[in-house]
Amino acid sequence: MEPIRTIHVGLGAWGSNWATSVLAGHPEVDVLAYVDRDSATVARMQQRLGLPPERFFPSLEAAMAAVDAEAVIVALPIALHAPIAWQALEAGKHVVVEKPFTENLQEARDLVALAEARGLVLAVSQNYRFYPAPQMAAQLTRGAYLGRLASVNVDFRRNAFAERSSNLKIPHPLLRDMAIHHYDLMRLVIGEDPVEVSARTWNPPGSPYEMHPAGAMVFSFPSGVHVSYRGSWVDFGPQTPWGGDWKMDFEKGSITWTSRGDQPWPMKRDTVQIRRPNATMEEVALPEMRFHDRAGTLAAFAQAIRTGTEPLHFPSGRNNVMTLAIAEAALQSSLNGGAPVRLDSL
C-alpha cells in the first residue's frame, strides 16, 4: 500500500523533531516537501535530513504548487494552526495539526465544518492516546471489569529546574499546553465528556515561569464520576511519567496506571495494575503496539484517509473540539477564582 503523500509545515524546535524523529522512515507517510520561512532553519534541516534544496519551500502555497500532496502536517506555533490548516483544507488536502488544536473554540469549529463540507480528514495530534496503558484502561472501564466507575485521581509532576524546560514563557503552561493531554485521556478512558470543571492555579515562590505552572482541578461527569487532578511543572517530589499517575476507583476494586511506553527506561514504560478488595495487586499484560505516540497519530491519520472511516481512538478535529473546550473551561474557571464552568456554556 502506497504511503500518504504529505507536506510538512514548520521546522522550528518541535517541527524539526517531527521531521527527524517521527516522519523520517515512517512507512505510512511520504514527505514530499518541507515548509519554513526562516532560511537559516531551512539550511540547517537540509543538512540534518540530507535532502536537496528543492524539497524545501518558504510557504505552503509554494509547496502545494510544486508537489502533488494528499495531506498537510501542521507543526507550528498555535497562532498559526488555524490559518495554515484552513489554507490546506481549502486546497483539498487532508490535515493533521499539532495540539492544542487552535487558539479558540470558534476557529476549531470552523475548521471542522470546512473539513466535513469538503469530505476531508482533519485530525489533531493527541499523541498520548497511542499508548497501551490508556487504551487498556479504557477497555477495562467500558467493559465494567470492576463494575461502575466512581472516581479518578490524576497526578502530574515535573521539575522545570532539573529539566531546563523550554516552555517558561508560554501562556498557561499547565492548563493549555500540558494538561490538554490529560483532559483528552480522561475522555478516552472514562468514555464520556465532563459537564463541569473547577480550576485553581498558582505560581510557586522561586518558579521560573511567567504564568501559572501549577494547579488543581475537579471535573464532573454526567454519570456522577468525579476526577481530581493535580499538576505542576515545578515539583521537587518524585516525577511522574508524562502521561501522569492515574488511580481509578470502581465498585469492585481499583485500577492504577501510568503511560509513556515508547521509552526505554522503566519510569516511562506503560503499566496497568488492578487491585480488588482484600487482594494483592495484579499486573495487567499490555498488548504490543506497532506505532506509539505521534507515529500512532500518523498511522491512524493514514488509515482514515485510505478507508474513509475513523479507526478506534482516532483524534479527529470534531472529537477534539471537546478537549479544547475543557481547556477553555479550566482557564475561565482559574481566572475567576475557581468558580465552576459548565461545558455547555462555551
Task: Place 163 in a pLDDT band, splitting at 50, 70 and 90.
Answer: low
Question: Is pTM, for the whole model, over 0.85?
Answer: yes
Across residues 115-127, what is the average pLDDT? 98
- Give the tens place of pLDDT for each residue, 134-150: 999 999 999 999 999 99
Helix/strand number for the chain, H first, E second: 10, 15
Query: Which residue in 78, 71, 40, 77 sits closest to 56, CA to CA?
Result: 40
Superfamily of domain 4-120, CATH level 4: NAD(P)-binding Rossmann-like Domain (3.40.50.720)
- Span 18-27, pLDDT tens digits: 999 999 999 9
Structure-block grid coordinates of residue 112? 471542522
Compute how many other C-beta atoms are within 10 angstroms of the C-beta atom of residue 279. Answer: 9
Cα-based distances in Å from 337 to 200, 272, 295, 332: 7, 35, 39, 9
Count Cβ neighbours within 10 Å for each residue of 106-145 and write b for 16 or more, e otherwise: ebbbebbebbeeeebbbbbbbbbbbbbbbbbbbebbeeee
Q: What is the pLDDT of residues 169-186, one digit of tens each?
A: 888 999 999 999 999 999
Mean pLDDT of the chain: 95
Question: Residue 297 above 90 pLDDT?
Answer: yes
Exposed/middle/buried for residue 168 (C-beta within 10 Å: 0-12, 13-18, 19+): middle
Phi, psi of 272 (to 5 degrees): -135, 130
Q: What percent of the chain has pLDDT over 70?
A: 96
What pLDDT score does 165 carry?
63
In this prediction, residue 266 carries a pLDDT of: 43
Mean pLDDT of 112-118: 99
d(CA 193, CA 220) in angstroms, rounded, equals: 9
Measure the CA–CA gap between 165 and 233, rounded to whole angstroms.
Answer: 9
Do 4-120 and 129-287+326-335 come out as alike in CATH topology?
no
Which CATH number among 3.30.360.10, 3.40.50.11540, 1.10.10.10, 3.50.50.60 corresponds to the domain 129-287+326-335? 3.30.360.10
Q: Please enumerate in sequence order all residues whose Cβ is within 8 A of that of 86, keeping only pairs 6 or more positions apart, or say none.
A: 110, 111, 114
The single-letter code of the amino acid at 268 is: K
The domain limits of the chain are: 4-120, 129-287+326-335
